[in-house]
A = this chain, B = another copy of it.
């Protein structure tokens, strides 16, 4: 917990078991009824009567999970345990203060509460954002500014931009607004109203700073809309549909929030800040023994997007999407058939809005079995024929070679033009007296259709998907479970819709300070002069350089909670002394990370290594330590900002792709619990500085996918999918490849016609 937090525990007397919501799984997210109950409990509490309740703002309402050991103990024998009480963690703003509350829903009381002191503010809620974006329309200088630009006020939409922190003293909960022109297009991001800066106070709900520094024309709407209905011919290609169906039904079951498929079982839930949360993922051993744990919890902890334009209008654009906006409100309702294939099932999500009321997002997740036309494994063996019906007229002594070399013999016959060799064909060669040459012998053979052995299995995996839409970006976030025991985590990014909050560089010289440009318009690359901080992607439109850092919290519990992080470093060995014609080879030198400092890895500078997460106390039958390995993403960018730059201080963890910390129930958010206007004193890098022991204990892997984005014209007006992912792959977790005993589908039945 934040060291600056002072605890103010109130004794709450009236706790009693008064509510009943059935008996949910202890990890299930809060139900709408529970969210409403939490609201009622708080409104009727001593706290509420102490504060003017009308000014309550809810900034986080989420399940307070049971402690891991409590849960595991319950799970091992649910009937032997009493019902675990349902608790919620709530962050409120009231009377200019931040309150942290633990609400016991089962007993209908506030279990504890405290006022929170320290840097940073909680996640913004949608209600205050919606309200603040309406302020300009009643603010005369803004109305004048819009009029001056010749834009219809009714076409203008404003939206919120977090202010970050740049060394200033705390000025309260501030927000910047930027406005766009929709009008003829749904692609408002392409039509910014530039030159205006608006700073508002979210709690006073008023504009506190306003400037209109320069006027530039708003770009035309033409060509920016992405809707099919707005396109004009000539149209692009239209593919023939590819249909996916499961005539024998789906292969997975969803019971409550627990998903079971093939050898996997895991729990799915929804959190207002993380979005999709995978819990308690376990995989069954080959021999159908008990499930063994792999991942206790996995979710997106933060999505950091810093822009690279230091000008007055842009410098602060360094977003923490989870910590400032929350993936809950940003989650999209998935569109059946386009967001997910026809064989998907859907789940809904609920979160509390700023007033504490439940918000329903239908179809917030989809779950489906993916078959992309690939094999999960295959092998063709040419040295051993398969079903061969062989009648030989050979010298007996060579029969054995012929039996295995039938393919060769047929090739010999080809030379004699007797038959055409076909690897998979059916061939009859006549027995004939032929010369023996290099032990190639003539044969009479009836060859069955399986002249070579080919064995393969279709790769079908299970995908759990959610989509977070943050302004102009859409992130498709997949968790893919494989029967091989792998978990693959995919991030498909669409910098949709002007990828970049297009920056109109049509500015008057000197006005912006940073933009030393001339002329009124850049409609062609030839006209560009000076530093532009981006690429010309359309007329008058610069796609500004930026990064995406998406950080995953991965609480691995490999066959139990007691794990270690092992780097198997690849080391070149020079061979001396003429024992071998070789001069070198590589081998591995295993190094167990003892403290957090050993586990900060930058893939760019680290020597090549296999990164293993093992359970030192659990061995395979063969005696190997069970583990998983991390196969990193090709999208492995690390931050290029200087260490002393404010956004970098706040997101200091982005200089390494990998961190490992000891498990701490409270350490969920790499940018800290209070990310808005945070100072970097409660982020992953700060925790890691404690340099705690991480050997043979419960540890958490933090992994960050990083992308430097240099826009191109193809990213206009939205960008095609950019896909990247990392894999958690078993490494001596199983005694052998668990796929070998996978039974093939009955292939012929469902072939295409």
Contacts and interface: CB of A to CB of B under 8 A. Distances in A.
Interface string A255-274: 00000001100000000000
Interface in A201-231: 205, 223, 226-228, 231
A487 to B, nearest CB: 13
Interface string A587-629: 1100000000000000010001010000000011011110001
Contacts of A312: 580
Contacts of A263: 236-237
A590 B384 CA distance: 55
A572 interface: yes
B454 A333 contact: yes
B718 A740 contact: yes
B244 A157 contact: no
A511 interface: no
A425 interface: yes
A719 interface: yes
Contacts of A249: 240
A452 B245 CA distance: 28
Interface string A567-598: 01011101100011111111110000000000
Contact of A714 (B126, B341, B585, B732): B732
Nearest to A469: B380
Among A130, A338, A646, the one with the most B-chain Cβ atoms within 10 Å of its Cβ is: A338
Contacts of A127: 408, 411-412, 415
A40 interface: no
Contacts of A369: 239-240, 242
Interface in A130-164: 130-131, 133-135, 137-138, 152-157, 159
Contacts of A286: 234, 236
A752 interface: yes
Interface string A162-184: 00001100000000000000100
Interface string A433-476: 00000111000000000001111111110010001010010101
A254 B247 CA distance: 30
Interface string A414-429: 1101001111110000
A623 B526 contact: yes
Interface stretch (A8-16, A45-53, A394-402): A394-402
Nearest to A248: B240
Nearest to A361: B423
A311 interface: yes
A459 B752 contact: no
A375 B372 CA distance: 13
A70 interface: no
Nearest to A250: B240
The range of chain A's interface size is 35 or more
Given A242-B246, A382-B469, A718-B737, A568 B710 contact: yes
Contact of A153 (B284, B400, B641): B400
A370 to B, nearest CB: 5
B339 A405 contact: no
Contact of A719 (B138, B167, B377, B647): B377
A497 B580 CA distance: 27
A325 to B, nearest CB: 12
Contact of A344 (B166, B373, B750): B373
B640 A570 contact: yes
Interface string A284-323: 1011100000000000000000001111100110000000
A31 interface: no
Nearest to A490: B374
Nearest to A337: B747
A527 B700 CA distance: 32
A585 B310 contact: yes
B227 A453 contact: yes
A192 interface: no
Contacts of A332: 380, 423, 452, 454
A525 to B, nearest CB: 3
Given A362-B422, A369-B240, A624 B752 contact: no
A622 B539 contact: yes
A401 to B, nearest CB: 5
Interface in A79-132: 126-127, 130-131
A431 interface: no
A443 to B, nearest CB: 14
B371 A242 contact: yes
A231 B741 contact: yes
Identify which of A359, A438, A537, A634 gathers the most chain B CB atoms within 10 Å of its CB. Answer: A634
A444 to B, nearest CB: 19
Contacts of A339: 375, 378, 454, 456
A512 to B, nearest CB: 10
A696 interface: no
Given A245-B753, A373-B340, A414-B357, A740 B717 contact: yes
B713 A736 contact: yes
A380 B228 CA distance: 14
A363 interface: yes
A728 B210 CA distance: 45
Contact of A235 (B514, B625, B730, B741): B741
A458 B455 CA distance: 31
27 contacts: A131-B439, A166-B582, A188-B381, A231-B741, A234-B287, A234-B741, A236-B740, A238-B743, A239-B251, A239-B369, A242-B343, A242-B371, A243-B245, A243-B247, A246-B752, A308-B585, A337-B748, A338-B747, A342-B751, A362-B422, A377-B719, A378-B476, A379-B472, A535-B624, A536-B622, A631-B634, A634-B636
Q: What are the nearest 3 A-B pairs in CB distance?
A: A154-B400, A525-B623, A342-B752
Given A379-B472, A379-B497, 13 more contacts: A131-B408, A226-B379, A234-B288, A237-B742, A242-B369, A244-B244, A338-B744, A342-B751, A342-B752, A361-B423, A375-B494, A379-B494, A484-B721
